[in-house]
Amino acid sequence: MYVDLDDLHTLSELDSGQALQETINYPHQFREAWELAGRWPENLSRDEIRQIMFLGTGGGSAASVDLLASYLFDEIKVPLFLNRGYTIPASIDNRTLVVVVSHSGKTEEILNAYHQVCTTEAQIIVLTSGGKLLSLARENKHPYLLIPGGMMPRIAVGYIFLPLLGLLQRLGFVGDKSAEVKETINILSELSGQYGPIVPAKDNLAKSMAYEMAGYVPVVYGSLPLTIAVASRWKNQFAENSKLLAMYNALPALHHDEVAGWDAPQSYLRHFYFTFLQDAEDRLEITRRIEISQELLASRAAGVRKVSSVGKSRLARLFSLVYLGDFISLYLALIRGVDPTPVEIIDNIKYLLTLESRTE
């Protein structure tokens, strides 16, 4: 028996951390985040930088960097990559800019990698809301920017993404993004009025898709190079918010391997709901591949749907898709009576790791 997504009282009772309200507030968050992005220290330099490595992991930091890389893939002239683990590559040198990103400032892997970076000649910059990372940045005299804390990192995507974009703009790696950011905020404001809980399911794409997906495994397909990061974001939001395993991949790559799995017995494929992410910049070949994929899956899967980005600028379009996925993931939790905020298994893993470290 599913929860009525138009029952606002029940939704409010289930949503202990007010994740829905925090998501509705994205336009305000993005506006404030872009103001923060202009507060990076003045003494930053791009001299001799030949590559940029971000240290970050999880639904806030890593997701933001992935989106940044997709957004800037054909504009930024230096290699930009994300390092999510405990160790750093051997290529880090005095021509590397390392941007250390941890919303909490307590992420174990990132702190470990940060200590390693400190033994190199790389330029180091820090983005955090506090914690041990802030203390270390101050101790080592590394430039840093403070962002608001007290929220789930996965909901702080604006507070992480936009300061990183502002940093690259400040250093001259990209042009002025103010107009695109302004449009993005306007688009999010419009979509907030379409996807919010007060809008009934019959007029609400996010609610209707949650109803369609309920009871099935979500599979999200983006495209290379633009929307693969959005597809990854959807998958991770289904995990953290909806407490569901999900899958993601991207065209055209999946047509060379994963597609073979579509020949699985129909009794198996009937457990999966497929969503294709379409963007205005997709090549005609990608559009055709989406059409062919939909035709092939229509009679095999539990459901197949294509959703298109909204907006003129690339930034607005990417975040229009991110925003839809975030709302769907929340409704997909609430429709099953699940509180989207707690991530008990993640907290338990951290606790068990702490116990082990104390006994070593």
Side-chain half-sphere exposure of 69, counting CA atoms within 13 A: 22
User: Is 137 within 8 Å of 126 (Cβ atoms)?
Assistant: yes
* 256 catalytic residue (yes or no): yes
* 177 catalytic residue (yes or no): no
Sheet strand arrangement including 123-128: 80-83, 51-55, 96-102, 123-128, 144-146
A 10 A CB-CB count for 228 gives 23
Q: Which of 132, 182, 306, 350 is labelled catalytic?
A: 350
Q: How far from chain centre, in Å, is Cα 323?
A: 10
Q: Where do the DSSP E strands lie in the chain?
A: 51-55, 80-83, 96-102, 123-128, 144-146, 217-223, 247-251, 272-278, 303-308
Q: Which of 256, 344, 356, 360 is labelled catalytic?
A: 256
Q: Which of 22, 180, 235, 240 is labelled catalytic?
A: 240
* 9 catalytic residue (yes or no): no
Q: What's the distance, Cα to Cα, between the start and end of the chain in Å? A: 47
How far is residue 238's CA from residue 190's CA, in Å, rounded to a whole number?
23
Query: Given the DSSP bridges, would you call strands 96-102 and 247-251 parallel, antiparallel or unpaired?
Result: unpaired
Say whether the peptide bond before residue 163 is cis (omega within 30 degrees of 0): no
Which residues have a catalytic role annotated? 240, 256, 350
